Amino acid sequence: MDQQMSQSIKLRAALTTRIKEIMGKSSATGIFRGGILQTHLLHKARLRIGHELDSCLATRDVNFHASASISEYEINRAALTVAHAMVNPYYVDWDVDRFAEMAKVSTPKSDGPLANTNQLPKYFSAAMIGKISAPATIVDRQGKILTIYLPNILSSSRVEYVNSATKGLRTLLLETITSSTQQSWRSQGFVVPEGGGEFGAGRVTVSPAYFMQRHERLEDPMVTSASYKSVEVQEWLAALSATESFWNAITAVSAPDLFEAGTLAITRIIEELQGSDRTSPPICDWPSIFSRLEIIANRTTLSHRDSGGAPSLFDLLISLGSGHEAKLTLADVGAELDYYPGTMVFISGKVLQHSIGPWGPGERLVIAHFMRDKIHSRCGVSRPPFPTQAYFLQMVGQQDSYLL
């Protein structure tokens, strides 16, 4: 884990420097006047960053090294994508903390909305954001960020590499369908491609530490998922080591307090469990700051809110696979996001309903990253604050800030 964190910190520094440079040069001046955001200046900054991002996306990564390292091209592409998202806000006219108090986590239904959904418009202004294709954020009336949408942030070479590594889990994924006797909605909606496809279909959950269902008392131990011990999963985690470090770094620059909370929780999990007979292989090799990974292949997903998290513990969803045209629907804000391979989305999954419908051709693969609130509580880690729009927009026009 020390080597993982060292690599993540180096990548974070490189991304931070580049994002500050991009934001600083996007405007001749700051975009606030008397503390008020000037939307016309924000628009100009967005156009400049968008032009640079388009130029980047039109070129190929000629120095891709797969598992060995993250290329300069990948760093620049990610920095431009994050910067564009921060200067492309969509607003909802309510406070996320108050909305979260009323938004209920309930069992998804195939024939209707979640419980309490019809009550929310009585208390909160309806939002109809519509289709989003470019990098963007969704922001509440207090400037708190609810969603960070990063389409095409991953190069085609990186997507192909992760796809190739994940094909090794095909048998494990298919076994989760044939062996499942549960009626949970999470065990439904799988579409097995003809002949089994490249990835099969199914869901594999991997975690270095979680609580067994209804065993979350102080006297109950944290346990490691059985899947973590499988040879296939260990090979997969090893293959994704550098990639996960990159995703950690993107988390660090997009949601800094989330990164710090996740890092501290994983460090304390390792301290508690390392060397015990519950962790073979050792969890010190865990590559992510998120304590739970779900590999999901070829599944439609009912509209739901996530249990087990907290409003500010964002999910990180990484869309992979090939040839599909999936859409991520956020019913509470009336948004539909293009969810093609290479997309990353940070979302307050405890607050916002999200779903994936039929995706047409191709195969859909996602690696979902979660932080669990009760695990963080056991580790003595406070809930992080939401990232804020102001933190990022103050960089715009600060042309020397990246030199500090």
Does 352 score more than 50 pLDDT?
yes
Q: Which range among 97-111, 172-186, 188-202 has the greatest average pLDDT? A: 188-202
Write out pLDDT tens, residues 137-158.
Answer: 999 999 999 999 999 999 999 9
pLDDT value at position 156? 95
Phi, psi for residue 70 in degrees, rounded to 5: -100, 130
List all residues 6 or more positions away from 346 whose beta carbon is below 8 Å from its beta carbon: 147, 148, 150, 251, 254, 255, 258, 314, 315, 316, 317
Please state, in angstroms and rounded to a whole number, the distance separating the CA atoms of residues 184 and 107.
9
Please state, in angstroms and rounded to a whole number, the distance separating the CA atoms of residues 404 and 397.
14
DSSP 202-221: EEEEE-SSBPPTT--STTSP
**How much of the chain, in percent, has pLDDT values that exceed 90?**
73
Does 66 score more than 70 pLDDT?
no
Does 69 score more than 80 pLDDT?
yes
pLDDT value at position 220? 77
Write out pLDDT tens, residues 201-259.
Answer: 999 999 988 776 666 677 678 888 889 989 999 999 999 999 999 999 999 999 999 99
Do 298 and 192 contact (CB within 8 A), yes or no? yes
Gyration radius from the chain CA atoms? 21
Q: In what order do the strands lie in the sheet with 354-356?
A: 130-132, 335-338, 327-330, 354-356, 301-304
Does 403 score more than 50 pLDDT?
no
pLDDT value at position 214? 62
Please state, in angstroms and rounded to a whole number, the distance separating the CA atoms of residues 38 and 43.
9
List all residues 6 or more positions away from 116 whose beta carbon is below 8 Å from its beta carbon: 102, 103, 104, 106
**Token pair for 230:** 């499988």
pLDDT value at position 272? 81
Please state, in angstroms and rounded to a whole number, the distance separating the CA atoms of residues 404 and 400.
7
Does 283 score more than 70 pLDDT?
no
With residue 311 as reference, give the H or E element that holds it: none
Do 334 and 90 contact (CB within 8 A), yes or no? no
Query: How many CB atoms are located within 10 Å of the residue 104 CB?
Result: 12
Nearest to 316 by CA among 368, 372, 389, 385: 368
pLDDT value at position 308? 84
Does 113 score more than 80 pLDDT?
no
Does 6 score more than 50 pLDDT?
yes
Does 276 score more than 60 pLDDT?
no
Confidence grade of residue 177 (pLDDT, cut at 50, 70, 90): confident
Does 183 score more than 80 pLDDT?
no
List all residues 6 or more positions away from 70 whose beta carbon is below 8 Å from its beta carbon: 11, 242, 245, 246
Please state, in angstroms and rounded to a whole number, the distance separating the CA atoms of residues 318 and 295.
10
Question: Amino acid letter at 270?
Answer: I
Write out pLDDT tens, residues 75-92.
Answer: 999 999 999 999 999 999
**Per-residue burial over 118-148, b = 16 or more CB atoms within 10 Å of its CB, e = otherwise:** eebeeebeebebeebebbbbbbbeebbbbbb
**Token pair for 120:** 């929310």
pLDDT, averaged across the chain: 90
